[in-house]
Structure 1
Amino acid sequence: MPLSEHEQRMLEQMERALYAEDPKFATALEGSGLRTYTRRRVYQAIAGFLVGIALLMAGMVAQWIWISVVGFLVMLGCAVLVVTGWRKAPRGGAPRGPMGAAGRRGPVRQRRSMMDRIEQRWQRRRDEQGR
């Protein structure tokens, strides 16, 4: 349900007030930190995997087995980091917070009922102000 113009203005005013009062806290609430960190970690692991392939190939060409083993271990470690990082990465529409992916069914119902209560309160306030 989209916000009305009045609601959007009120929300923008609250955001500006929050940024003016405590900019550090407001930036922390933006929530892109975990997503950016996880994405960066996955990219670093992919780059490490490619370095592992290069070490493996270089060890095979130079016929130094220990370099190939190191390259394989680097590849294996980076593959584990990619898989775990990919699973932990927050989805675009996923709820943020401590609940994460586990136990979504129960809290979603509670959130909907909470949102309904908030919307009802908002409508009552708007009706009272309109009188």
Structure 2
Amino acid sequence: MPLSEEELRLLEQMERALVEEDPKFASTLRGTTLRSSARRRAIVAAVCFVLGVVVLMVGAIFELYPVAIGGFVVMLASATVAVTSLRSRRQAEQQPGTPTSQGFTVHQGGRAGRKSRQRSSEGFLDRMEARWRRRRENGGF
């Protein structure tokens, strides 16, 4: 449920008062955005991937197979980190409730989130029970 004009105005006033009273605490609450931290992780992972390629090639050239395997493991781990950070970055761009550099945001929670989860799990349980009944009626597995 979206906030009314008055509630938005009150939140902005509270934010301004917090920034005036304790600017260091306010900057701590703002933190970094999910996009920038995901971008930073992806860049670090790319650099580690390149270093892994170098270690793999050095190990292969000098026939130091444990070193080459270590380079491959570094490449694999950095590729995994890069893919997960890029996925989280896309999700952060799609979600409207992510922190921005302009101020604080309101995250939806409470009963609204739980109701949707319960409905989906009830549907799942109903389908499983119907499958079980059909199997029993048809003479087993």
Alignment TM-score, normalising by the size of structure 2:
0.52
* Cα offsets for 1:87-121 (capped at 9, x unmatched): 1122177432477xxx8xx8xxxxxxxxxxxxxxx
Structure 1 counterpart SS, 2:93: coil
Name structure 2 gaps, 5 residues minimum.
Answer: 1-11, 99-106, 117-141
Cα distance in 1, alignment partners of residues 20 and 72 from structure 2: 52
What is the match of residue 54 of structure 2?
Answer: 54
Q: What is the aligned residue count?
A: 92
Q: Cα deviations across residues 12-61 of structure 1 (Å, max 9, x unaligned)? A: x7654331112134214435343333222221111110000001111111
Unaligned runs of 5+ in 1: 1-10, 107-131
1:1-131 → structure 2 map (5 Å cutoff): 16-30=16-30, 32-89=32-89, 90-91=92-93, 94-96=96-98, 97=107
Q: Aligned-pair RMSD on alpha carbons?
A: 3.0
Deviations 1:65-84 (A, max 9, x none): 11111111100000000011
C-alpha distance 55-98 of structure 1, shift in aligned 2 (>3 A) = farther
C-alpha spacing 1:16/1:35, structure 2 compared with 1 (3 Å): same
